[in-house]
Amino acid sequence: MENANVTMGALFKNRVIQTLLLSTLFLQIGIWVRNYSILLFVVEKTNENPVAVSLISVAEFAPIFLFSFIGGTFADRWKPKRTMIWCDFLSAVSIFVVLLTLVFGSWKAIFFATFVSSILSQFSQPSGMKLFKLHVKEELIQMGMSIYQTIFALFMILGPVLGTFVYQQFGIDVSIAVMGVAFFISAGILFLLPADYEVEEKEEQTSVIQEMKDGLKYVLKSRVLTLLGGSFAAAGLALGLIQPLAVFLVTEQLGLPKEQLQWLMAAFGIGMILGGGVTVGASKKLSPQILLALGMSACAIGFFVMGVSKLFWITMAAEFFCGLFNPAIQIGINTMILKNTEAAFIGRVNGILSPIFMGTMVIMMTASGWLKKTFSLVAMYETTALLFIVGILFIVPLFKKKAVLQKSEGV
């Protein structure tokens, strides 16, 4: 226990950790106010037009496919501190441009705020991971990622409440101003980061295309990263299959009003918050492979139970159980990427693996409505559980690799 306290103390004394956590806090405020105020504004303006509402998701997720690999490549070329500051600053500027457009022009420019902010995050996020790799000791990375993930878990609960409150109380103009100020504050906080390392100029400057090719080769040569990519794909397919079906779980499986869905989401969110705290404590003792396997096993069990349950409290308990172990998945993945990737390739590796997960999820989300008409809801949820088990099978060889390394080291 004393050793854990010492480790935690060393972690919070790290200037990079302090700065990134504080910056993330304000970024999350801006992002959640953006997400919910824009959603409610578009719903109100279009009289609940489903096409207009779906365009918000397109503006948010399309840049992940279009710019993730490109953003990761440039994140490897550019200095991470400078990149993150400029990304937050430009996000803020774009949001205030949208505010001016709302005042003097068309409300449809509101989609631009989400689109630009989402593009810039594809450059900023891998730069943040690179800073973890450069400035945080390897033994502290997993615990640092645990605390980082806990902030995201907290905003899963608080974010929708905050975004809805700001919009309903003050309207879209103030909501957009809050977003812009939050991004400006985040950019200002990032100036507290240590100066970027000066790197020696290469004799031959490689092109962006060549660096993208090098990134692909790097991932394909790494057994850990390719297996992780397979696990990513299985998890994306699993979550995409049932992502749009949660409301049917309430109305068809449980025979309850659709409004009861909010309690299932709340149970998942509360589980995530508690799970983040538990994982912070456990991360010192458990390897990232074990964390990832535990998280995916818990999700397999949880979704299996949801598929067969006819009782609301059992389904809610299964949601809580999945939420409790969800941070273990995120922390395990991020830690494995950081520990098995050289600093020079962090951006490109992140830019390759993230779209694998998001791409498979969106593909399955697109097909899930058709599959729902063909197969039963129970079959859909049990297939999701099976896909999580397939994801676990991809990382089983990593346990064997660890065992061999420990044996060779005499552990």
Q: pLDDT tens per residue, the chain (411 residues)?
A: 445 555 566 667 778 888 888 998 999 998 888 888 887 888 787 776 766 766 776 777 777 767 877 888 888 888 888 999 999 999 888 888 877 777 766 667 777 777 888 888 888 888 888 887 777 777 777 777 777 777 877 787 788 788 888 888 888 888 888 999 999 999 999 999 888 765 444 444 667 788 888 888 998 898 889 999 999 899 889 988 887 777 788 888 888 887 777 788 788 888 888 887 787 777 677 888 898 999 999 999 999 999 999 999 999 999 999 989 988 888 888 888 888 888 788 888 888 887 788 778 878 877 777 888 888 889 999 999 999 999 999 988 887 655 444 443 343
Query: Which whole-number Å values give the CA distances from 143 to 133, 278, 281, 386, in the listed order?
Result: 13, 11, 8, 30
Q: Are 188 and 92 a contacting pair, CB within 8 Å?
A: no
Q: Go through the domains of the chain in sequence order and give each one's CATH number.
A: 9-193 (1.20.1250.20), 208-404 (1.20.1250.20)
Global pTM reads: 0.72
Q: Are 360 and 233 a contacting pair, CB within 8 Å?
A: yes
pLDDT number for residue 188: 94
Q: What is the DSSP string of 303-358?
A: HHHHHH--SHHHHHHHHHHHHHHHHHHHHHHHHHHHHTS-GGGHHHHHHHHHHHHH
Coil, strand or helix at 12: helix
pLDDT number for residue 373: 80
CA distance 220 to 203: 26
Q: Are 36 and 164 a contacting pair, CB within 8 Å?
A: yes
pLDDT number for residue 404: 41
Beta-carbon contacts of residue 44 (< 8 Å; ≥ 6 apart): none
Q: Which of 123, 23, 133, 125 is nearest to 78 (CA)?
A: 123
Ordered alpha helix ranges (H), 136-222: 138-189, 208-221
Which residue bears the tokens 């609960």? 157
Start-to-end CA span in the chain (Å): 23
pLDDT number for residue 269: 82
Q: What is the DSSP string of 349-374?
A: HHHHHHHHHHHHHHHHHHHHHHHHHH
User: Which DSSP state fits 100?
Assistant: H
CA distance 247 to 300: 19
pLDDT number for residue 410: 40
pLDDT number for residue 194: 84
Q: Are 320 and 153 a contacting pair, CB within 8 Å?
A: no
Query: Which whole-number Å values give the CA distances from 21 to 17, 18, 186, 307, in the listed order?
Result: 6, 5, 10, 37
pLDDT number for residue 53: 67
